[in-house]
A = this chain, B = another copy of it.
Amino acid sequence: MIKVGIIGATGYAGQELVRLLYGHPEVKIIKIISETYIDNKYSYAYRNFTGFSQDSCLALDYETIADGIDVLFTSLPYGVLMEKLNDDILNNVKVIDLGVDYRLMNSTEYKQYYGKDHKSIHLSSRFTYGLCEWNENEIQVAENIANPGCFATAIQLALLPLIKEKIISPDVTVDGKCALSGSGRTLTLGTHFVEANESVKPYKITNHPHKIEARKAIEYFTHEQVKLTFVPHIVPMQRGILVTCYTKPTMKIDHDFIRNIYEKYYHYRQFVQILDRGMYVETKWVRNSNMCHINFEVDEQDNSLIIFAAIDNLIKGAAGQAIQNLNIMNGFPQNMAINYVPTCI
């Protein structure tokens, strides 16, 4: 049994982690850590755990955090973990970080996108970028995992095969749509029900951090430089991300050709499904699951290739992929505890 702790367990991604790990046959949750709910029952913060969990939330103490656990999941707002993490902790526990602090950025890029100096950028080299379908070999031997962001996951799964094979121009426009859970549990006017419901809006128009993450990660996996124009939008729903990728082929293509490219990379991958021609992705078809659906449309007349990818932002875009990483690191079947049919209703 792997003994785990979770920092940030009462955020939305944290709750999904606890919920899914609760059903993991090889995992035992030892520490549920939440600064907001110290000494409260976890089932007080999340009443869906009534009858399932008697655990209480613990305070966060970095001195003793590694004691008694094998793996530490961290799910914190940007800039928090990088202030506290150090080599001592990493020498004593494996970290799977759902936050952004160790995702392939150098200190300049971090400063530019997050407006803060990174206090422990040297630790980044101890983290492996955890995009499971593309980095499996590295993850198997990884010390720690920088779990990819939700938009970055969807963008990469959609684009990597095409960029790797040099099928498309490296100048790509991505329009993203995300559910409200992507904005977290912190109260803001923009996420107040009456303000958010029945409306759609763009946000972080030119500087969304997943833009730099996706760009760096694409370079990491393909050694190609890409120019990414990316605008995320918020749509009034609980869960789900849809990315629409507008690309220009660099050659004559047709539907089957592109399908073969995707098959080459994803044929044996359970969690990436290329939909049949004419079937379009909808976020509901992947809800509550670790699945990524992809479809694409070739416009031969306009020489354009548009790719769509849908994931559940909290699962494949956060907690589910984190567990998939845990499974790979430990030699478990990749789908252990995340092998659920999406709940479309």
Question: Closest chain B residue to A293 by CB distance?
Answer: B50
Q: Does A252 touch B at the CB level, under 8 Å?
A: no
Given contacts A233-B177, A288-B288, A291-B51, contact A238 B205 (CB under 8 A): no
Interface string of A190-202 (1 = CB under 8 A from B): 0111111111111
B236 touches A236 (CB 8 A): yes
A198 touches B306 (CB 8 A): no
Selected from B185, B229, B344, the residue in CB contact (under 8 A) with A192 is B185
Q: Does A151 touch B at the CB level, under 8 Å?
A: no
This protein's copies in its complex: 4
A192 touches B194 (CB 8 A): no
Q: Does A7 touch B at the CB level, under 8 Å?
A: no
Interface string of A206-249 (1 = CB under 8 A from B): 10000000000000000000010101010111111010101000
Contacting B at CB under 8 A, from A1-59, are: 12, 15-16, 19, 22-23, 46-52
Q: Does A283 touch B at the CB level, under 8 Å?
A: yes
Contacts of A251 in B (CB 8 A): none
B343 touches A343 (CB 8 A): yes
A280 touches B193 (CB 8 A): no
B194 touches A185 (CB 8 A): yes
A345 touches B15 (CB 8 A): yes
Q: Does A110 touch B at the CB level, under 8 Å?
A: no
Q: Report, as a range, how many residues of chain A touch the other chain.
A: 35 or more
B201 touches A180 (CB 8 A): no
Nearest CB of chain B from residue A205's CB, rounded to whole Å: 4
Question: Closest chain B residue to A180 by CB distance?
Answer: B193
B306 touches A237 (CB 8 A): no
Question: Closest chain B residue to A296 by CB distance?
Answer: B205
- Complex Cα distance, B275 from A180, in Å, reads 24
Contacts of A339 in B (CB 8 A): 23
Q: Does A77 touch B at the CB level, under 8 Å?
A: no
Interface string of A263-274 (1 = CB under 8 A from B): 000000011010
Q: Does A282 touch B at the CB level, under 8 Å?
A: yes
- Complex Cα distance, B202 from A279, in Å, reads 10
Nearest CB of chain B from residue A238's CB, rounded to whole Å: 6
B345 touches A238 (CB 8 A): yes
Contacts of A202 in B (CB 8 A): 242, 244, 280-281, 308
- Complex Cα distance, B237 from A196, in Å, reads 11
Q: Does A299 touch B at the CB level, under 8 Å?
A: yes
Q: Which of A23, A339, A344 has the most CB of B within 10 A?
A: A344
Q: Does A302 touch B at the CB level, under 8 Å?
A: yes
Sample of 14 A–B contacts (CB below 8 Å): A47-B285, A49-B341, A177-B233, A181-B345, A193-B236, A198-B198, A198-B240, A198-B287, A199-B240, A200-B237, A202-B244, A206-B297, A229-B304, A288-B343
Further contacts, 15 of them, CB under 8 A, given A201-B281, A229-B304:
A47-B275, A47-B279, A47-B344, A48-B284, A50-B285, A180-B194, A180-B197, A181-B194, A185-B192, A187-B188, A193-B193, A199-B283, A206-B302, A235-B236, A246-B246
Residues on A facing B (Cβ under 8 Å): 12, 15-16, 19, 22-23, 46-52, 173, 175, 177, 180-181, 185, 187-189, 191-203, 205-206, 227, 229, 231, 233, 235-240, 242, 244, 246, 270-271, 273, 275, 279-289, 291, 293, 297, 299, 302, 304, 306, 308, 314, 339-345
